[in-house]
């Protein structure tokens, strides 16, 4: 799974200086684990993104 986290300027800003526009992809690959019979992710990147979003919003 890949998610793109992007900052896009819309012309409005409450700050003195608007944020820089940027984008980066966050990827996690899941594979089937035969022993536990469920999918296992290869990183906690999406969990970290969720934490960052909770702080931002």
pLDDT single digits (tens) 20-54: 889 999 999 999 999 999 999 999 999 999 998 89
Do residues 28 and 46 touch, judged by C-beta distance below 8 A?
yes
- 3-class DSSP assignment, residue 41: strand
Where in the chain are the domains? 2-56
Q: For residue range 7-23, what is the model confidence (pLDDT) as tens digits?
A: 888 877 776 787 788 99
Contact 21, 4 (CB under 8 A): no
């Amino acid at each position: 799974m890949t998610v793109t986290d992007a900052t896009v300027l819309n012309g409005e800003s409450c700050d003195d200086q608007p944020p820089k526009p940027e984008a980066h992809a966050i990827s996690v690959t899941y594979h089937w684990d035969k022993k536990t019979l469920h999918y296992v992710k290869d990183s906690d990147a999406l969990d970290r993104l969720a934490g960052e979003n909770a702080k931002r919003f």
